[in-house]
Amino acid sequence: MEPITILDTTLRDGSQGENISFSVEDKLAIALKLDEFGIHYIEGGWPGSNPKDILFFKQARELELKNAKLVAFGSVRNRKNQTEQDPNIQSLLQAETPVVSLFGKSWLLHVKNALNALPEENLEMIYDSVAFLNSQGREVLYDAEHFFDGYEDNPEYALATLKAAERGGADTIILCDTNGGTLPERLGEVVKEIIGKLSTPVGIHTHNDSELAVANTLSALNNGAIHVQGTFNGYGERCGNANLCSIIPNLQLKMGIQCVAPEQLTNLTYLSDYIAEIANVSHRSDSAFVGRSAFAHKGGVHVHAVMKDSTTYEHIPPESLGNNRRVLVSDLSGKSNILYKAEELNVDLEKHKDKLPKIVKMLKKKEHEGYAYEAAEGSLELMIRQTAEEWIGYFELGGFRIMMEKEPKGFPRSEATIRLHVAGKTEHIAAEGNGPVAALDNALRKALYNFYPETDGIHLTDYKVRVLNQGGGTSAKVRVLINFRAGEFVWGTVGVSENIIEASWQALTDGYSYFLLKQGPNNRNGHSPDTIQPEAVVSK
């Protein structure tokens, strides 16, 4: 099979997705990462459509790309214009990229209703535009828009549009499933038919409206296509584009077709996360290959098998993509989950093997009460240590009170007063915050500071509340998840109660306790109470 080339259109087609927007600086940064990863073509935007893309191509001339060719995207000439004077064609030349991606109409429905052109006019527009850009020394990728719909409607005319591009000198002809409605078997049949009628290499560009973009892409490749277009994380208009994070590992690890250097494949997860971060959108944990949950195991039977042989429940090694195996703990967990997780958390349970049944029982009890530890590994480790009777407590609550004040036109004010027993002393501290949890956090932080000044570096980065029994109304039980950060160290904790302040207090104190635990076992002010039973007095 001929080598496969990959065009990434995250910066152009991907940016058309809802909630996706890249600045010029974002696009330049992503382009460099894509080049480093080994992508062959980077479609940077449509210089004829907006000033931002014009500026991007201007600044992109300074990029020192080692692997990729930069591509400017645009349409064939307007039917009323001479090719040399067409503004869109001129903007493609002015982008000064070595490659242009030119799209034209394949479907008579679009030719008549969108272009208001005659069928023969459309063929001339395609030929003229491709031939002109080819004469200017550009590598021309011709995107046959809506090709599969057009082929089903009128195969002779759809093929004629491709022949026009081929006569014009197109270097590659890309068949586009623009509406994303073609099924893999039919798409593969069409690709095979077209390849038999063209001498020009054929590529594929699919959309995910039927959740088949990746399957359709692989079907096209199995039937002779040698060029792939897609986006990272499947970003794109409507339901997105073909996801390169799935296409690349399927090609490389399943089909034996190398498209990037093997050593670069281990950066796939990092690059997926990086682009999601730049796009400022949540990275789906259940994404195939690169998601945080892609190699996460929860059922006890699964974990027991994976501990013996990872291939029992993993189709590829997660390390091959730069991902990690994770074992989750829940009410589905068994001893294997606990042992694996304890080892991952550096908790030595070898001397507490007799306590494993007790730990598993406690975990199931907590999960039944509403606790969830998948995103709260700080609370999980503390629970394991407490149940195993291997726990250093750093403070005890004497009590707290929270007051809320709201004037008719003023902003609500919260004040928390806390009594905390630390290292044989009692701290009585008050603090304000923009809400009750913030006030409580500030008071706790102040009370701990003189004993544990390192806690001043703790930052709360996320706070989530989940109602567990929605029929309970305002008396419903809630679960609070809090994420913390201190430098590069990040962790999460959980609390559950019918009282949102009490649930928040549990998560807060677990967060500070876990941080202190990770400072080392010889923390100078640590002490070991038999039990820590938080009590709270909340003003109403």
**pLDDT at site 378:** 87
For the chain, residues classed under CATH 3.20.20.70 are 74-260
Contact yes or no for 398/407 (Cβ under 8 A): no
- Distance in angstroms (rounded) separating the CA atoms of residues 407 and 451: 37
- In this structure, the number of other CB atoms found within 10 A of the CB of residue 450 comes to 13
**From the centroid of its chain, how far is CA 485?**
20
- Distance in angstroms (rounded) separating the CA atoms of residues 428 and 330: 38
> In order along the chain (540 residues), what is the average pLDDT of each group of 10 residues?
90 94 94 96 93 95 96 96 96 97 97 94 98 98 98 98 98 98 98 98 98 98 97 97 98 93 91 89 87 75 68 86 70 56 64 73 78 79 80 88 87 92 92 93 94 92 84 78 91 92 95 89 40 30
Contact yes or no for 307/326 (Cβ under 8 A): no
CATH topology of domain 396-518: Double Stranded RNA Binding Domain (3.30.160)
What Cα–Cα distance (Å) separates residue 538 from each residue in 340, 403, 441, 510? 39, 8, 15, 20
Contact yes or no for 162/144 (Cβ under 8 A): yes
What CATH number does the domain located at 74-260 have?
3.20.20.70
**pLDDT at site 34:** 97
- In this structure, the number of other CB atoms found within 10 A of the CB of residue 257 comes to 16
Contact yes or no for 136/167 (Cβ under 8 A): no
- Distance in angstroms (rounded) separating the CA atoms of residues 35 and 7: 11
What Cα–Cα distance (Å) separates residue 143 from each residue in 9, 106, 162, 247? 13, 9, 9, 19
Three-state SS at 142: strand
**pLDDT at site 318:** 87
**pLDDT at site 325:** 74
**pLDDT at site 474:** 67
For the chain, residues classed under CATH 3.30.160.270 are 396-518
**pLDDT at site 523:** 47
**pLDDT at site 332:** 46
Which residue, 432, 451, 469, 466, is CA-closest to 393? 451
**pLDDT at site 346:** 66
**pLDDT at site 293:** 79
